[in-house]
Structure 1
């Protein structure tokens, strides 16, 4: 008996389906692309249970003739290509002839279609023996495909699907994106009987963008329209002031097809050289119209990866066009002169800022009445925390240290005296016992210690304090009720927010659904209210992006809240406020770095200062 056997058709079909149909959004993608190829001007999608139980895609395209219905479900049956040369001149979205056969092999599928030259439509379905049944049906011109019980006969694949809200979000994101690629088509998506996405097909790209991006982003987009050797580049780029923490808000369309291309993304990001902070990514929608003979889209069955004939030329042309578009737009920033300010600022009543976050949490910070209690409590610190002591770096002074105003000393009580070894206990002792000199450029706290001067970044100090408050066991910020405020999101963004409402409430951000793609903000963390910090759509999206993480979501969300609510560089602090910050920093487990890993303290040792003065 031969060890090598030809697989039965039903097994081969399921293997092929695994490459094309990975999850419900794959079904929607393939069917929508077929509708676009059929010259549809209106496409309606309906899903239930994240597409796992039901998917319907209807269009008003040119339809399928009765004689072609059975053929359409055969593997590699297509009307898009005839000869080998056609593979290198592809202008349609579909061409492999795998979609319908793959979907039908892993679901219960019914297709109805009517062409413009017939008086009635026809329906094709498949019985238990996979035999096709065709019967007449009344309908408008176009095609409707209904898919039920996806992966019912491949349970191993079904168990890898995500929860229904996540699968629904994938579909909402895809429909929102494909609507941008084809603004001339009206799209409608209904998810679990609720309208999720709607565009009107007016052909206006800006109108379609409103379904994907928020209003603030729309107002800060730069248009691009440039001709190249291989075609045309058009679309929109965000101004450098509008960025994201990931590349999720980047969309690349090639000849009407959504693609993933690290080459194109890198080319666009290179155009922003010198304009963005580290790990900040621009938002962009880029439409590439390219001669199909210079790009290969037949790389993967999903058709999202492409190969360019000349990578270098494509990269250079895109980067140059984007750079030119940015530099010829209004990207100016206002720069204010630096005023002479006293090192210690005497706060007025209107400038009083509560930097003590203890009152906003339902637990009390650690306190000590004696030195030995302080030391005993600190012995529980892990070795990893102690290892941060190396972050307090001794740096060389490039300019002579100028004298500064002397502040009065605080009575810190009987605390630990410094010993030659600089470990976590003695660092905390210096924070509590050091003499406050003042601020440098309203950004850095200057502290005189037993062995030199310390500079502390006030924003990072405050960030560390808030972060540890938020991540301690049982910590939950008190909520300040506010007048209800409507927040507007795109369809895809609204799906993300809806998934994380419970977690947002746990962080003191109280939201409730309010119509399509809208939420009412009813409460904010009390420490936000005390600092006058507003909660807008972008802050919610920043939080949601962290809450969506599978691991360490609480810590990541706490980092976002801490960064947003901490005092900023350039903010004047009184001596009382500086002292409050130093006391609270000494109460943290890691007073050495911010949650991002940046050092909090830079030390200028006595011996280095003396060496600079030739002593």
Structure 2
């Protein structure tokens, strides 16, 4: 048996990144979280080969300064947590400071960003976790993240990715879950040059439901709203004729974040069986 040794930092980083970034949809989820935290109301995605070749996410959020751009690819660097007690009052979607470093460790990453009100932006490039360059550049306000050749330096992980169509389905499901909760944000997804999803921003949640499920389903849904002990619950329920035996068409959110809880789903399904 070989002697135990401490892994080189570069190897340890790749392994840790593989735990955060499981597939292309994981990249999309992390980038959408960052865009939401940046107060974006317009999110556009371009995907090639199911995200294995390229994922590009552009938002019109607050953007980053040059110093913050350099820090955002450092592990555990975050603007959302300052001390341990902050972990008990998190109101943002991302807070670990691991998303961009993990993505950058297993891809060829480019981040272009311009803060609101700034005259110019900056572009950072890295490959396999190594910084290649950072330079001043013209850019729209907000941030654009380009992720190319996902898992190019982890062939074993890349080998286990599914077909492009399957990976794209996972990406669309990820966007779907976010778009359902945020009707005030425009979402546009382009898959290999074809618009796969386009949802204009709207102040009416039922309009967003119509864009996702169709007009008839949206009109038939029953709006519910209640509050108790400082907790507010609101949502939409389909009439019993739409109910399925499986809970795969149920979406529950806590403070805007999609959660999956079997007990809660079961309670909702059981409610349909009671008068």
SS of the residue corresponding to residue 241 of structure 1 reads: helix
SS of corresponding position for 2:44? strand
Change (3 A) 1:98 1:12: same
Q: Give the match for residue 97 of structure 2.
A: 97
Counterpart of 1:192 in structure 2 is 192
- Aligned CA-pair RMSD: 1.7
Partner of 1:85, secondary structure, is helix
Is residue 259 of structure 1 aligned with residue 230 of structure 2?
Answer: no
CA distance in 1, matches of 2:117, 2:216: 47
- The question of whether the paired residues in 1 share the 8 Å contact of 2:105 and 2:129 is answered with no
SS in 1 for 2:111: strand
- Displacement, 1:12? 1.7
- TM-score, normalization: structure 1? 0.43
Please state whether the residue corresponding to 2:130 is helix, strand or coil: coil
Q: Which residue of 1 aligns with 2:219?
A: 219
- Map residues 100-139 of structure 1 onto 2, 5 A cutoff: 100-126=100-126, 130-139=130-139
Q: Secondary structure at the match of 2:240?
A: coil
Does structure 2 retain, via aligned residues, the 8 Å contact 1:177–1:212? no
Task: Give the match for residue 240 of structure 1.
Answer: 240
Distance 1:261 1:230 in 2: 21
Aligned-pair CA distance for 1:189: 0.7
Tell me the distance in 2 between the aligned counterparts of 1:40 and 1:129.
27
Map 1:27-106 onto structure 2 (within 5 A): 27-106=27-106
Give the Cα separation in 2 of the matches to 1:129 and 1:103.
Answer: 8
Give, in whole Å, the separation in 2 of the partners of 1:128 and 1:170: 24
Q: Is the strand fraction higher in 1 or 2?
A: 2
Q: What is the aligned partner in structure 2 of residue 18 from structure 1?
A: 18
Partners of 2:112 and 2:122 within 8 A in 1? yes
SS of match in other structure, 1:78: coil
User: Is 1:9 aligned with 2:9?
Assistant: yes
Does the aligned pair in 1 maintain the 2:55–2:147 contact within 8 Å? yes
Instruction: Spell out the pairing of 1:348-363 with structure 2 (5 A cutoff).
Output: none
What pairs up with 1:596-615 in 2 under 5 angstroms?
none
| TM-score (structure 2 length as normaliser) | 0.95
CA distance in 2, matches of 1:78, 1:244: 41
Q: Which runs of 5+ in 1 are unaligned?
A: 275-326, 328-615
- Structure with the bigger RCO (C-alpha within 8 Å, sep 6+) is 2
Residues 39-438 of structure 1 mapped to structure 2, 5 A cutoff: 39-126=39-126, 130-274=130-274
Q: Deviations over 1:182-237 (max 9, x none)?
A: 11111111111111111211221111112321334223211110102241111101
How far 1:45 moved relative to its partner? 0.6
Assess, with a 3 A threshold, how the Cα gap between structure 1 residues 128 and 93 changes in structure 2: closer, same or farther.
Answer: closer
CA deviation after TM superposition for structure 1 residue 127, in Å: 5.3
SS in 1 for 2:113: strand
Residues 185 and 203, structure 1, Cα contact 8 Å, conserved in 2: no
Distance change (3 Å), C-alpha of 1:60 and 1:210 = same
Counterpart CA distance in 2 for 1:230 and 1:23 is 38
- State the alpha-carbon separation in 2 of the partners of residues 212 and 129 from structure 1: 37
Separation (CA, whole Å) in 2 of partners of 1:210 and 1:193: 24
Structure 2: runs of 5 or more not aligned:
none
Q: Secondary structure at the match of 2:135?
A: strand
Paired position in structure 2 for 1:361: none
